[in-house]
Structure formats: structure tokens, C-alpha cells
A and B are shown apart, each in its own frame.
Chain A
């Protein structure tokens, strides 16, 4: 029942997201356009070239961030961790800001951000190394310090920007948005997101074992060092792909894992798919609202998520313990 609901949720969100935008389309028209991919015309262009890539990007970003957050929170056994902790996003932001200000062509910036993000993850991992494994506290400290440094680089780039046009491009990117992104960007980032997702699902059992603490996880046979490296690789790939697709989208990576645990419990074999599903649905709906609410302009998705998502989450999470968890298993 719960599984079916979680499977249907993203489909409903995708449908809604296809209908909503600068011009409202009827479900029949959208369905027709989807079923006839080789037609031409305005309707066809809107659905296939504008809406559908946006929906797919939103789903990828939402699912990636939620999965990434779930993996990192489980790995570090810290509920305050979010996908940007490892410095991936800050480094990507810094690199992209520099690229924009330096006048590098827009087509090249996502690639630059992706490489910088993964490079930062490697650097943080190297700093957090202890023995053959990764020390959780060192990882958090290294991630936060490097993120601060990268944030300073972004500020510097903004201050030194030669024109307002460059500066607003940087700000737009920092605010998180999928405006103007299409199939080419998705085609570039999706394989890495998919690889990250596969790695995330592969460490479901290790994530479960880590719930009873690192020492006991070792005692029941988990190779903690190896598991941590896989988890870090998975989270870095997921965070970096979402960052190049949509810039900095907050909230989802931190909050969706908590919502998922509330609904299905902490068993990673159920939690990870649930997070992917909720994250994708949330991101698609939020993106649809962003496109509609101030049309023809667009609201940055990060802003909307904060305004709607945070109160909803606080209600869900902070109200007195309910029967939710009990019948969840």
C-alpha cells in the first residue's frame, strides 16, 4: 500500500508539472503530445522541448539530493547533515562563479562545476582520512571549512565582476533554478546521477548495519572503511550532478530523509527508494509552482522550498510522537 503510494507519487507530480506553466495545458492535450512524439507544432514544442526536460531534471535533482542526504546522514549517523556538507556544492559554485566572471561560455560552466565539485569531495575525503577509513568528525569539519573558503571565493568573484550581467548570472545560479535547462544538460548529468544512485542502493545493507554504531557494525562483519568510501563516492556523484543541473537547491537533501524515516522507518532498503520518490515528487511540484506563480518570470526553487517546505516539515517532524512510526514497519 505504502510502496504503491510512493511509486505513484512521482508520476502524479510529473503529470501535474507537465500541465502547469506559463500556459496551462489540458491533461488530454499533454497526453496526446506525449503519445505522438513525432508531431510538430506549438503544443508539441512546449511539452517535448520545455516541460518534459524540466520535469525530468527536477525529478533527477530531487531524487539525487534526497538519496545523497539519506546516505550521508546514515554514514555519519548525524541527522543534521545535508548533501552540501562535503564541499561539493560550494566548490562547484566557486568554480562556476569564476567561470562566469571570466566570461567562459555558458555551455562549459556545468562541466567545470561538476569537475570542481568532485575534486572538492576528493580533497575533503583526503583530509578526513584516518587509517584506511574516514573519520566522521574530520569529514564534517573539513567539509565545513572548505565550504567556507569556497563561499569566500564566490563573494570575491561577485565583488570583482566587471558587469552586473555577470553578477546576476552568478546570483541566479546560486539561488537554485532549472530555468533554461534542457535535454543537453540532463544528458550530461544523468549518467553520473544514475551511477551515484546505483552505488547508494548498493550500500543499503551497510547503512542498516551502521544504525547500531560503527563498532558493532564492524563486529557483525561490515567492512566499514570500504563502505564509507562507496557511500562518499555515491553522495559526491549525486550532489555534483544535482548541482550542475539546478545550482544550489536546499531543503530537499536535509529534510526528505527525515520525512522518509517518518513514513517508512529507517531500514535503508525501504528508506532509499522512498527518499528518491519523495524527493523527485517534491522537486517536480515545487518547480511547477515556481514556473506558474510569478509567470512569465520564475521563482528560484530554493526560495519556494523554504517557504512551503519548512513549515510543512516542522509540522510533520516536531509534533508529538504519533503512531506513524509504529505501523510503519
Chain B
């Protein structure tokens, strides 16, 4: 369980998000929506311990996150973020193996016994076993995104935070990744995922957190959040509801979506 109490976050000395109160239950899939610069990334980073919290408190399963050491936090939370400049020619397996960092002590040079299982499992979960021995730099955007998710999965954490895992991806791959995340939540993982596509959020999230005006505008079921007034407030434009195009699998599994 993730709990935020009166959390205020600064960026560049200016308050970006104020007094965020939220609670995400174990096994829940929460989508984080909001316009560019609304604070989605900053909020995810703060929960992952990668951004300083100015005031308020974040707790993980009741324990204050601020007091966790980096290694212990990395055993509870995996933070998945998209591409960035890459210098080295690393194999996909090398990249995913780095997710095991927190499971080692610094003097342990050899792989721990369950490292290989964890890495293989992570590669299999995102269906990139076939790429394991390929150079990361030769992968497509969708394949790279899966590698980053596999890196997070290899950490074997109960909580998975993802910063726009479907950006730059075609519809098919995006839905495959979201379906994967959804299945992970049914298996007990907690997923908080920043998204840009409202329909993706509606299709997969148990609840949607909507950021706007430096605050958490809503944290509720998709039906309750994706309403004209709230979206107008968050995005500054008017929305009308028509039938969304979603994969048949989503509609079969969750018939209330898109109704």
C-alpha cells in the first residue's frame, strides 16, 4: 500500500504539487493523468524516493518511505522510465540484470542464486526472451520500453511505478504493455502508471488519479473521473463521450468499460 499525506513537491524552488493526499491499495492499477508539466513524473519520482519531498509524508505499507535506505527502497519499489542517452553497447540481458543490484551486497561479485531466475522471469513476462542476447541499441522503441519494464520486474518489488510506458508506441504494442501491467496487478503487484491517453487509462485502470492546477483533482474510478468538468479543469479543453476504440480483450474482460 502506498500512502501520501499532505505531500508538497517543489521543482526548481517552486511548489509544483501541493497537499497531495492519496492512498493506493495493494494489487491496484492506478493511472496517473494530467497535462504536460502537471507533475506526474515528479509525483512518481517522489514516491520512488528519487525526488525530495518538501513537506508531508509518503509511507509504504505503513513504513515512512523517507527513512528507507536506497537498497531497501529498491526492493519495494521499481521505477520504470523511458529512454535516455546510452553510451555503452549493452546486451538486453546485461541491462535487465542491473535490476538485481539491490539484492546484492557490494562485495558480492558473483550472481546470487535466484538472479538468473528473476532475470529470465522478467524477460519472459514482457516476452523479450528472444532478444536477451541482442544489443540494446538495436531494439525498436517498443522493445526498449519492454526492456525497461523487465528491468523493473527483475527488482522483484511489490510496487511498480511507470512513467509513460506507452509513449512513442503504436496502439498494438501499447495495449500489449498495459495488458501485461494489468495482469501483474491481478497477480498482486501494485501499479501506478503515468499515461497520456485517456482511453488507455479508462480501459485498464482500477482508479484514475487526475493532476491539475498543482493539486490532485480526483482519485476515483474511471467513470467518476473521466467527466467533462474534471477533464476540462485538468486539460483546459472540453471533452465529449463517444464510444472509445479499445481492444476486444479489454471489453471482454471488463464489460463495464466503454459502456
Q: Which of B48, B90, B94 contacts A219 (CB 8 A)?
A: B48
Interface 9-residue window, one of A36-44, A93-101, A206-214, A231-239 = A206-214
Query: Could you tell me how many residues of chain B have their Cβ less than 8 Å away from some Cβ of chain A?
Result: 34
Query: B106 contacts A206, CB within 8 Å?
Result: yes
| B87 A221 Cβ-Cβ under 8 A | no
- Are the CB atoms of B73 and A220 closer together than 8 Å? no
**B:72-110 near A, CB below 8 Å:** 72-75, 78-79, 81, 84-91, 94-95, 98-99, 101-102, 104, 106-109
B87, A219: Cβ atoms closer than 8 Å: no
- Residues from chain B with a CB closer than 8 A to the CB of A212 are 86, 90, 95, 98, 151
> Does any Cβ of A come within 8 Å of B55's Cβ?
no
Q: Do A221 and B88 touch (CB < 8 A)?
A: no
Q: Does A266 contact B89, Cβ atoms closer than 8 Å?
A: yes
Q: Are B98 and A219 in contact (CB under 8 A)?
A: no
The answer to the question of B145 belonging to the interface, with a C-beta cut-off of 8 Å to chain A, is: no
Residue of A nearest to B108 (CB): A205
Shortest CB distance A233–B (Å): 15
The residues of A that contact B87 with a CB separation of less than 8 Å are 77-79, 211
Highest count of chain B CB atoms <10 Å: which of A78, A203, A212, A266: A212
Q: How far is the CB of B47 from chain A (nearest CB, A)?
A: 11
Contact A219 B84 (CB under 8 A): no
The interface residues of chain A, by DSSP majority, are classed as: loop
* Number of interface residues, chain A, beta carbon within 8 A: 29
> Which listed residue (B84, B99, B109) contacts A220, Cβ 8 A?
B99
B71 within 8 A of A: yes
Take A205-B101, A211-B90, A269-B109 as given contacts and tell me if A216 and B70 are in contact as well, using a CB distance cutoff of 8 Å.
no
With A220-B74, A220-B155, A267-B94 known to touch, is A202 a contact of B102 (CB < 8 Å)? no
In the complex, A324 Cα to B84 Cα: how many Å?
Answer: 26
Q: Which residues of B contact A (CB under 8 A)?
A: 48-50, 69-75, 78-79, 81, 84-91, 94-95, 98-99, 101-102, 104, 106-109, 151, 155
Q: List residues of chain A with CB under 8 Å of any chain B CB.
A: 77-79, 202-206, 208-209, 211-213, 215-223, 261, 265-267, 269, 325, 329
A-B contact pairs, 13 of them (CB 8 A): A77-B87, A205-B104, A205-B108, A209-B98, A213-B85, A215-B50, A217-B101, A219-B78, A220-B78, A221-B75, A266-B94, A329-B91, A329-B94
Question: Which 7 residue pairs across A and B have the least CB separation, nearest first?
Answer: A221-B74, A221-B102, A219-B79, A220-B101, A221-B71, A223-B70, A266-B88
